[in-house]
Amino acid sequence: AVKRKRGAAAPRPTKRAKRAQDAPEVDTKTRQDGAGPEEYSIPPPVSQGKWKNKERVLIFSSRGINFRTRHLMQDLRTLMPHSKADTKMDRKDQLFVINEVCEMKNCNKCIFFEAKKKQDLYMWLSNTPRGPSAKFLVQNVHTLAELKMTGNCLRGSRPLLSFDPAFDKEPHYALLKELFIQVFSTPQYHPKSQPFVDHVFTFSVTDNRIWFRNYQIIEEDASLVEIGPRFVLNLIKIFQGSFGGPTLYENPHYQSPNTHRRLIRLSVAAKFREKQHVKEVQKIKKKESKVLVEEDPTEVVFETPAEEKPVEIQLVKPESKPILKDKKKLRKIQRKKQKKLFRTE
């Protein structure tokens, strides 16, 4: 800012010439004609490349989710700088409406969390608007705020994606691998991303489920420290279209949460019925008449009869003896009796 003199118009500031990208760097402090104010040159952006892969991911959910799902969505948005947010979708709306929402938000990928019965959480990964799309059941969710992990990473940094070797053996896993790469990988030279690679997204297949983990890369020894969040994806179906269409793959090992809860209730009821049956059998045994066992004649072989004593009938009542609680008093009484006998004699 140039100070304005009294009675004189303020001079217009001179426009700075734009520096070409290939021009050499200018010193931090330059003076014009040795008398003007100091000017500071603005350093160029860190990522000088061109942002070509313009992948944008829309992350939002339906109504009725709990606090854990809300925190998980927020964690994914912080880890993925190329993501966008939107308001919750009504449950009555059909899923194909999401394609129009993605088109309005200028997004070509979508992560949609669908809540049912306020306890079951489903996640849709879709390539809008043509597909394919995959539906998962989300289990064992732990967020960044919940886990007390020691790992940490720079916000907006680009992650490495590590996949289990099982993703290259079966075709449905190969399709999911490509979908995960396009959704979770941060595009190069993204305006909100940082040019650092300091954490890893791992996708491992165990027990017919996909386990997601986020680890920090330590520079000293290249060891890994978990950051979070973590969750398990149980694949349900893969569709050809976006949020619908012909089914490409259906997981034969999938068991719905309703079926799982029903089996647990049936097992508990079976245990209760078994206990009741045991109690009824015990009551019946008690009520049954006891079976008389015939006497064994050989039981009295080794019994020796006791000697018979003559029966004496006592006609006179026995004299009652004095009840003396104290032994000292008894001794005093005996001494007095002995003294009386001695005097009489």
Residue 36 pLDDT > 90 = no
| Cβ density class 293-323: b for 16+ within 10 Å, e for less | eeeeeeeeeeeeeeeeeeeeeeeeeeeeeee
Q: What's the CA angle centered on 76, arms 108 and 174, to 5 degrees? A: 60
Q: Is 101 helix (H, G, I), strand (E, B) or coil?
A: helix
Residue 8 pLDDT > 80 = no
Domain ranges of the chain: 57-260
305 confidence band (pLDDT: 50, 70, 90): confident
201 confidence band (pLDDT: 50, 70, 90): very high
pLDDT score recorded for residue 42: 65
Cis peptide before 252 (omega within 30 of 0): no
Dihedral sign computed on CA atoms, order 141, 147, 149, 151 = positive
35 confidence band (pLDDT: 50, 70, 90): very low
**CA–CA separation, 179 and 135 (whole Å):** 12
- Considering the chain, what percentage of its residues have pLDDT values greater than 70? 84
Cis peptide before 129 (omega within 30 of 0): yes
pLDDT score recorded for residue 30: 41
Give pLDDT tens digits for 152-161.
888 889 999 9
Between 202 and 16, the more confident residue is 202
245-251: long-range contacts at Cβ-Cβ below 8 A with a sequence spacing of 24 or more? 245/131, 245/133, 248/132, 248/172, 248/175, 249/172, 249/175, 251/208
254 confidence band (pLDDT: 50, 70, 90): very high
pLDDT score recorded for residue 125: 96
CA-nearest of 236, 197, 189, 244 to 217 is: 197
pLDDT score recorded for residue 280: 93
Q: What is the mean pLDDT of the chain?
A: 84
What does the block give as tokens for 131? 């597909």
Least confident of 88-97, 131-140, 243-252: 88-97
Specify the pairing of strand 209-217 against strand 194-206.
antiparallel
pLDDT score recorded for residue 15: 52
**Of the CATH numbers 3.40.50.10480, 3.40.718.10, 3.40.50.150, 3.40.50.1820, which one belongs to the domain with range 57-260?**
3.40.50.10480
Residue 29 pLDDT > 50 = no
H helix and E strand count, the chain: 5, 13
What does the block give as tokens for 99? 């394609």
